Amino acid sequence: MTQEEYLEEVTKIDNIFEEYEKSINSMKKNLVRKYCSSNNTVKIGDIIENSYTRIIVDKITIITPGWGTAYPYCRYEGRALKKDYSFYVHNKLHCISQNDSNIKIIKK
């Protein structure tokens, strides 16, 4: 086997590996989405609260497993609300995690 033949074979193997890696990553993303959508009860526009804040959900982001988490979960982002359901003057965005044990859904 010559050096050129060796390099050709290595390149073929690398290309096959890259294709499989893309396929596996795609399957993992689909699994994470499926898991989060099956466990998510909050929709955009819902009002939710935990022990710190109350928000109207504007965006739902999927957080993949990583440091400190074994399973994927949803993070709900939205503008903070007062007790009378009006917006604060500062209109800052707040986040509540799906894995927060104190989360309550308030549908108004």
DSSP-assigned states of every residue in 41-102: ---TT-EEE-SS-EEEEEEEEEE-SBTTBSS-EEEEEEEEB-TTSPBPSS--EEEEETT-TT
Residues 69 and 35 in one domain: no
Show the tokens assigned to 66.
């990583």
What pLDDT score was predicted for residue 69? 77
Residues 32 and 58 in one domain: no
CATH number of the domain where residue 63 is located: 2.30.30
**Nearest-angstrom CA–CA distance, 12 and 42:** 47
Task: Decide: 55 and 80 in contact? Cβ < 8 Å.
Answer: yes
Residues 33 and 59 in one domain: no
Residues 15 and 28 in one domain: yes
Q: Is 108 helix (H, G, I), strand (E, B) or coil?
A: coil
Residues 27 and 55 in one domain: no
Residues 58 and 85 in one domain: yes
What pLDDT score was predicted for residue 64? 87
For residue 85, what are the domain limits? 42-108
What pLDDT score was predicted for residue 3? 92
What pLDDT score was predicted for residue 80? 93
Give the tens place of pLDDT for each residue, 46-75.
999 998 899 999 999 999 887 777 889 999
Number of structural domains (the chain) is 2
- List the pLDDT tens digit at each of the 108 positions of the chain: 899 999 999 999 999 999 999 999 999 999 999 999 998 989 999 999 998 899 999 999 999 887 777 889 999 999 999 988 888 888 889 999 988 878 888 875
Residue 105 DSSP one-character state:
E
Residues 25 and 55 in one domain: no
